[in-house]
Amino acid sequence: YRSPSRDHEIILHRSLQQNYSQSLRTLRVTVAKHPSGIDFIFMVGGFSDSPFLKAVIKEKFEHGNIVVLVPRR
C-alpha cells in the first residue's frame, strides 16, 4: 500500500520528467535545423531554476559555438 502523498510524489516526478524530456526534444530539433545558426540558448522561466535541467542542457548543447545562458534572479 502506498500513501496518497507517495502516489502524488510519483505523479509529480513523472510529470516533471515528461516536461524535461519534451523540452530536450524541442531543443534538439531546433538545433538540428540550424546547426550553424544558433549561438546561444537562453534558459528562462520556472524550469530554468532546476539544477538538473541546467546541467542536462549544458551537457547536451554547450559544445562548439553554442553557449547556454541562465540569467540570475
Residues 6+ apart with CB under 8 A from 3: none
> Does pTM top 0.85 for this prediction?
no
How confident is the model over 3-47, as pLDDT tens digits? 567 777 777 777 777 877 887 888 888 888 876 778 888 888 877
Number of other residues whose CB lies within 10 A of the CB of residue 53:
18
Residue 45 grid coordinates: 522561466
57 class by beta-carbon count within 10 Å (0-12 exposed, 13-18 middle, 19+ buried): buried
CA 49/CA 44 separation, integer angstroms: 8
Distance from chain centroid for Cα 72: 17
